Amino acid sequence: MVIVMKANAADSHIRHVVSRIEAAGLSTCLSRGQGRILIGIVGDRRLIAALPVEVFPGVERVLPVTDSYKLASRQFRSEDTVIDTGGVEIGGGNLVVMAGPCAVESRAQLLEAAEIAREGGAQFLRGGAFKPRTSPYSFQGLERQGLEYLAEAREATGLKIVTEVVDVTSVAMVAEYADVLQIGARNMQNFRLLQAAGQAGKPVLLKRGIAATISEWLHAAEYILSEGNYKVALCERGIRTFEDYTRNTLDLSAVVAVKKLSHLPVIVDPSHGTGRRELVCPMAMAAVAAGADGLMVEMHPKPSEALSDGSQSLDPDQYRELMAAVSSLAAFLRQAM
């Protein structure tokens, strides 16, 4: 349920409403919509129904939140969420780029990739230290050593670090090093992991599951939000369809749909979304045109030597071309809209 306060509601009215709700054992979330303060209430439905919120001073009206994901819903919060990741914001009109190799393979590879990512204008370095691989015989990641290299690369370049956490037991370790915890497509409905990532308090990038509907994806985000962690960004990375020319089918309509249904920022990953490096730049531009808040792209100093996802990784020149194309498109769109 969302309480719409009157345009002239005093601060004391807002404080009174919040304290009455919290005294009933419920939690609140304040936002601003059309010049008014909105107070979202979450918690047990019976406790909410028992509160006489309509008659509290300063209240204009009370709206039900009909979506079954509540905290993720635009009905609950009309403003776009902007996530502060410690100096770099995700959402709110800045196009962020997260670039780097699929996996952290060695110190030299990662530091070289980080330097290329920084020079090209990315704000985040990506790279998995824990890799969820289809085959148990494929490279599984350098684990803590990989996280150490990521931290060193952050020191060297100033880039923020986004890296994947694959299970509950490693959340604390990954959160020690990462600026943003990535939850991968295969783990989108690992509800215990979502809760643990929510409790870790770090911003979370939640990738869309390989066969997840938009509704399932938003419900997965709700698991993180309901732990009191509102720093959640969604990442469209393609879904499994009958098409096998591409690795996945990048669902750009989901960017537009999710931004209507939810206030959370949406990042697009055209690397996993297509699986083919020649499609990455055009689909990155299409994602920006569709209103994405950012991009995640795989880039490797030598893609032919990559231990994972080489065929979808850009080489340094292709990465620089993508950055130039995307930043001029973003500038054009800003002045055209």
Per CB under 5 A, residues contacting Mn ion are: 102, 309
The 171-200 site mask, x for binding ligand PEP (CB under 6 A), equals -------------xxx--------------
Mark residues 13-52: x for contact with ligand PEP by CB under 6 A, - for none: ----------------------------------------
Hey, what's the torsion of the CAs at 88, 169, 272, 241, to 10 degrees?
A: -130
Sequence-distant contacts of 137-141: CB under 8 A, at least 24 apart: 138/308, 139/103, 139/105, 139/307, 139/308, 141/103, 141/104
Angle made by CA atoms 136, 138, 144, in degrees to the nearest 5: 90
Which listed residue (9, 41, 65, 102) binds ligand PEP by CB under 6 A?
102
By CB under 6 A, residue 267 contacts ligand PEP: no
Residue 77 within binding range of ligand PEP, rule CB under 6 A: no
CB-CB neighbours of 276 under 10 Å: 15
Instruction: Find the shortest distance in angstroms from Cβ 226 to ligand PEP.
Output: 22
The CA angle 50-56-60, to the nearest 5 degrees, is 110
CB of 280 to ligand PEP, least distance (A): 13
- What is the C-alpha to C-alpha distance for residues 270 and 265, in angstroms, rounded to an integer? 16
Give the nearest distance from C-beta 328 to ligand PEP in angstroms: 26
Beta carbon of residue 94, minimum distance to ligand PEP (angstroms, whole number):
21
305-324 binders of ligand PEP (CB under 6 A)? none
Residue 237 binds which entry of ligand PEP, Mn ion, none, CB below 5-8 Å type-dependent: ligand PEP
* Identity at 195, one-letter amino acid code: Q
10 Å Cβ neighbour count for 227?
17
Q: Does 272 bind ligand PEP (CB under 6 A)?
A: yes
Of these partners, Mn ion, ligand PEP, none, which one is at the site of residue 185 (CB under 5 to 8 Å by kind)? ligand PEP
- The length of the chain in residues reads 337
Among 74, 231, 237, 259, binds ligand PEP (CB under 6 A): 237
Q: Which residues, other chains included, contact 186 with Cβ-Cβ below 8 Å and sequence gap of 6+?
A: 132, 209, 210
The position carrying tokens 């776009």 is 80
Q: Enumerate binding residues for ligand PEP (CB under 6 A).
A: 102, 128, 132, 184-186, 207, 237, 272
